[in-house]
Chain A
Amino acid sequence: MLMMAVSVGLLFATGAYMLMRRSLVKLVVGLVLLGQAANLLIYVASRPLRGRPPLVEPGASLPPDPHSDPLASALVLTAIVISFGIASYTIVLIKRAYEDVGTADLKEFTTTDC
């Protein structure tokens, strides 16, 4: 658990750091890392138990106590699917932007600045 909590913090820190770099690619890496950090946070938040999956035995209607919280896994799965879609869109976007602007340096992206 402690390991997981520490990795959540590390992921957030790395993601935030990457976001602040000037490279487009690092921007996307940062966004993906932040997403993973948030997913892991939700998972840790449900206090998962080692070796206690919430599986219902044949004939029973409830999983044996104590069991891990299945809802958090469902939430994380949904979030992963969403971040899969978003990440694929962003990768296509930065590829197009790189081809159009001709650089991956965010300081050059000033056409729309006010």
Chain B
Amino acid sequence: MNSVIFRSSTQVLLPFMLTVSVVVLFRGHNEPGGGFVGGLLAASGFALHAMAFGYRSAQDTLRIDPRVLIGVGLFIAAGSGIPSLLVGEAYLQGLWITLEPYGFPEPLKVGTPLAFDVGVYLLVLGAAFLMVCTLEEYRHDADDGS
């Protein structure tokens, strides 16, 4: 798409959308949000970039192959259930520890559901971006052919 307004606003929007997606990811356990929504937000940021600058440029901005992202995400998500198996609980049961990092206003709770969400985030980002790339790729191929 050859529009200066679209291109320059995409450059502002992409970092903004990525930041929001991470915020949504981390507030997700007790409030609306979570890995799936966060991943979709991030993926739509990259989809926007792909529309403005082409999917190859978006791929270069993402740097990692989306299929590797899916793999790593699936690995983290599926693997987040294993620690609870090791301590004798059911698979995927949540385990929590409370951290009190210096200078933080309140104690920080970290647990396996967080790892699950991060995994889902990466998986959804990879899958949705891969889909956009696949569709874009065919469109460009068809354009070349005509």
> Is B135 interfacial (CB-CB < 8 Å)?
yes
> Is A96 interfacial (CB-CB < 8 Å)?
yes
> Is A85 interfacial (CB-CB < 8 Å)?
yes
> Is A6 interfacial (CB-CB < 8 Å)?
no
Query: Chain B residues near A85 (CB, 8 Å)?
Result: 127
B135: contacting residue among A81, A95, A99, CB under 8 A:
A95
Q: Judge whether B142 and A99 touch: CB under 8 Å.
A: yes
> Is A61 interfacial (CB-CB < 8 Å)?
no
Q: Which residue of A lies closest to B124 (CB)?
A: A81
Query: Chain A residues near B135 (CB, 8 Å)?
Result: 91-92, 95
Query: Chain A residues near B102 (CB, 8 Å)?
Result: none
> Is A88 interfacial (CB-CB < 8 Å)?
yes
Per-position contact with B for A41-61: 1 when CB-CB < 8 Å, else 0? 000000000000000000000
Chain B interface residue number, banded: under 10
Q: Judge whether B131 and A88 touch: CB under 8 Å.
A: yes
Q: Known contacts A85-B127, A88-B131; is A96 also within 8 Å of B138 by CB?
A: yes
Q: Which residue of B lies closest to A89 (CB)?
A: B131
Query: Chain B residues near A92 (CB, 8 Å)?
Result: 131, 134-135, 138
User: What's the Cα separation between A88 and B66 when bound, in Å?
Assistant: 16
Per-position contact with B for A96-111: 1 when CB-CB < 8 Å, else 0? 1001000000000000
Q: Which residue of B lies closest to A80 (CB)?
A: B36
Per-position contact with A for B30-67: 1 when CB-CB < 8 Å, else 0? 00000010000000000000000000000000000000
Q: Which residue of B lies closest to A77 (CB)?
A: B36
The listed residue with most B CB atoms (<10 A of its CB), out of A88, A96, A99, is: A88
Per-position contact with A for B112-145: 1 when CB-CB < 8 Å, else 0? 0000000000000001000100110010001000
Query: Chain B residues near A96 (CB, 8 Å)?
Result: 138
Provide a sorted-by-A list of 13 A–B residue pairs whose CB atoms are within 8 angstroms. A81-B36, A85-B127, A88-B131, A91-B135, A92-B131, A92-B134, A92-B135, A92-B138, A95-B135, A95-B138, A96-B138, A99-B138, A99-B142
Chain B residues at the A interface, C-beta cutoff of 8 Å = 36, 127, 131, 134-135, 138, 142
Chain A residues at the B interface, C-beta cutoff of 8 Å = 81, 85, 88, 91-92, 95-96, 99
